[in-house]
Structure 1
Amino acid sequence: MEIYSTEEQQAEAIKRFFRENGVSLAIGAFIGLGGLYGWKAYNQHQIDTAEAASEAFTKVVESEDVLAKSETLVSEHSGSSYAVLAAFVAAKEAVEKNDLDTAASKLSWAAENVQNPELQATALLRLARVQVAQKAYDKALATLAKPMPESFKAQISEIQGDVYLAQGDKDKARSAYQSAVEANGTQNNPLLQIKLDDLATSSAV
């Protein structure tokens, strides 16, 4: 299953999310508080909360029961960026266990609860791949139709091609794969060209 393949762009998005999120928290706290003492108290609370969420996330990653630990983290730190990352980790664990319903649920929650558009797009793309694996093709197409940054166009088109191919519509699949190639999708995923070539070969037979 290609749900977690070719993720260099997503990894960079996650790093960028933490950089941007850290700055926005600091600026928001500074603007929202009028006095030095209030600032210190609020800042300490933010630090304590972040440390608690970080520790909880570490426990999720190191746990033998990732799904259960992630549920606890999300319920106790739902507003933190670590809760979103825990949802990603739990979804990956669920996919590996072939628990696609749980994976879809985790990724849906992540997409709905993250503000960073690139990280949200990552959640949506993974959700669409899970939905393809579930043979929920209409849901997958609906997920892919949601607003995402232009930089994700190649991946969106490729998954659309996978959906159309699974539905038996080779013409639409070929068109979607061609759109993905034209969006430089082969730079991160050489298999994309193979998918397109295979369709060209089958149509020539």
Structure 2
Amino acid sequence: MEIYSTEEQQVEAIKSFWKEHGNGIILGTLIGLAAIYGWRWYGQQQLAKQEQSSAAYAAALKKVDAGDLSAGDAFLKGDSAGQYQTLMAARLAKAAADKGELDKALGYLDQAQAHADTETLKGIFTLRKARIQLAKGDLKGAKASLALVKDDAFKAESQELLGDIAVKEGDKAAARTAYQAALAGQAGSPALQLKLESLDSKG
């Protein structure tokens, strides 16, 4: 480090330093401050947007639960849906299915799948879709949906549905095999046991 012998030399050195580097230091400081405040502003904007989406979702869901599915449709088409698109579409699918509007329910499940951000959610919606297709009598469509479920966590449910499809097709041997495979993942399930016993009682 250079040692300055007099105050005048120190002052001149400081002046020289600022003359050479002052603008760069000031500019860097301003950029740093702008970045900090810009990030804070962005964070506040995102938080406000999330709060707006949450409030809009809660309001629309209340109407949907009261039977007004159009409120859910309006929410999905609006700009405030955000991260709640999947939840609303899934809720509308259930509401439509409860009303017996199975085609509409399938459409909502397609929307839920499209906006799902995890494979687990996609698997859940695919299983729901297969159940509705089975209820409609679309056995081929239900099989196609179940073929898309790859997650082992849903293997037992998939096998049970395959057994239900086989029963509809009149293939008791395939139904028994599927139900037994499902039991391996749902040991002691009373519902599955009843389905197997029903097959045995039919010969």
TM-score (norm 1): 0.75
Q: CA deviation at 1:60?
A: 2.3
Distance in 2 (CA, whole Å) between partners of 1:147 and 1:81 is 24
Unaligned 5+ residue runs, structure 1?
Answer: 1-33
Tell me if the contact between 2:131 and 2:161 (Cα under 8 Å) persists in the aligned partners. Answer: yes
Structure 1 CA distance for aligned equivalents of residues 142 and 201 of structure 2: 27
- Quick check: which has more Rg, 1 or 2? 2
Q: Does 1:43 align with 2:16?
A: no
Cα RMSD (Å) of the superposition?
A: 2.0
Equivalent residue for 1:80, pick from 75, 82, 94: 82
Structure 1 residues 104-143: aligned runs within 5 Å: 104-143=106-145
Indicate the residue corresponding to 2:175 in structure 1. Answer: 173
Gaps of 5+ in 2: 1-33
Work out the CA distance in 2 between the residues paired with 1:36 and 1:142.
52
Matched to 2:99, the amino acid is K
- CA displacement at 1:194 relative to structure 2: 1.0
Q: Is the 8 A contact 2:57 2:81 kept in 1?
A: no
Letter in 1 for 2:166: Y
Q: How much has 1:58 moved relative to structure 2?
A: 0.9
Bigger RCO (CA 8 Å, 6+ sep): 1
Once the two structures are superposed, residues 4-48 of structure 1 have per-residue CA deviations (whole angstroms, 9 ceiling, x without a partner) of: xxxxxxxxxxxxxxxxxxxxxxxxxxxxxx932332222222212
> Which of 39-48 and 136-145 deviates more?
39-48
**Where do 4+ consecutive residues of structure 1 move more than 3 Å?**
none
Is the 1:124–1:144 contact (alpha carbons within 8 Å) kept by the matching residues of 2?
yes
Q: How many residues align structurally?
A: 168
C-alpha deviations, 1:55-82, integer Å up to 9, x for none?
A: 1221222113442111122122587331
Identity, in percent, stands at: 33
